[in-house]
Amino acid sequence: MDTILTLVARLGRATLALIRAAGSLALFAFEGLSHIVRPPFYGRVFLSSFMETGFFSLPVVALTALFSGGVIALQSYTGFAQYHVQSAIAGIVVLAVTRELGPVLAGLMVAGRVGAAMAAQIGTMRVTDQIDALTTLSTNPMKYLVAPRLLAGLIALPLLVLVADVLGVAGGFTVCVMKLGFSPQAYITATLNSLKAIDVTVGLVKAALFGFLIALMGCYYGYNSKGGAEGVGSATTAAVVVASILLLAFDYLLTDLFFSQ
């Protein structure tokens, strides 16, 4: 009986902790979002976050998209050639890239690169009293540190995904034309025939949500970090892991919402 009670108590405590964490995250997100639309605005911090999230992530996202597009083309070819439906490869590549690979791979790459950096920066500021110093200098840390980063994530990731879409298709095109002997004109025609506006649009909507989630997790875990270097390390790990899991979960939910019928 005691064992059962202990188990139930533990389960209850864990559930309460989970609800508390979800509530705290939701309040943090709401407060951060509310500061995006309320002055004063910190344009310099936004610009710096935007460059860090968008511009400096370009090489890693571009290379990931290029190689992924090529891999999809190669893998599709090995399967489709058996049934003589190689003509479908261009459509497969463009749909896979715009609907899924572009936003998901760009999101995961940015989560690893930028989400971790945000958590480490803000976490270090927290444990070295820099966030308290902001408060004493009449500056709201949520407005100065969090809101510009959330906005940067929200705007930069869709732009990155647009680049990833183009380069992913280019990767597939390069493999099909240079290695598999496809006609360039036929490949481009098949790509354009398969592509619908909704595919790109949904990919960009996903990207905006992923960008927001990555920045939110980086800021949330950094802002609440404690315990010196070890605390900052844990915050950084948690920011990347939770952002990556949430990103994949929301990817499924949005795919189900837009493409399930």
Closer residue to another protein (CB): 121 or 244: 121
Closer residue to another protein (CB): 91 or 233: 233
Query: Do residues 118 and 152 touch, judged by C-beta distance below 8 A?
Result: no
Closer residue to another protein (CB): 76 or 224: 224
- How is residue 88 written in tokens? 């479908």
CB of 41 to another protein, least distance (A): 12
CB of 171 to another protein, least distance (A): 36
Closer residue to another protein (CB): 86 or 139: 139
For 33, residues 6+ apart whose C-beta sits below 8 A from its C-beta are 147, 150
Query: Do residues 241 and 141 touch, judged by C-beta distance below 8 A?
Result: no
5 burial level (CB within 10 Å; 0-12, 13-18, 19+): exposed
CB of 127 to another protein, least distance (A): 10
> How many CB atoms are located within 10 Å of the residue 64 CB?
20
Q: Is residue 136 at the binding interface for another protein, with CB under 8 A as the rule?
A: yes
Site for another protein in 94-133 (CB under 8 A): 121, 124-125, 128-130, 132-133
Closer residue to another protein (CB): 134 or 166: 134
CB of 46 to another protein, least distance (A): 14
Give the contact letters, 158-187, x = binds to another protein (CB under 8 A), - = no.
------------------------------
Q: Is residue 43 at the binding interface for another protein, with CB under 8 A as the rule?
A: no
Q: CA 234, CA 202: separation in Å to the nearest integer? A: 33
Pick from 139, 174, 194, 234 the residue near another protein by CB under 8 A: 139
CB of 27 to another protein, least distance (A): 16
Query: Do residues 252 and 209 touch, judged by C-beta distance below 8 A?
Result: no
Pick from 1, 4, 137, 197 the residue near another protein by CB under 8 A: 137
SS3 category, 1 = coil
Per-residue burial over 147-176, b if 16 or more Cβ lie within 10 Å, else e, is bbbbbbbbbbbbbbbbbbbbbbbbbbbbbb
Q: Is residue 86 at the binding interface for another protein, with CB under 8 A as the rule?
A: no
Q: CA 225, CA 79: separation in Å to the nearest integer? A: 48
Residues that bind another protein (CB under 8 A): 121, 124-125, 128-130, 132-139
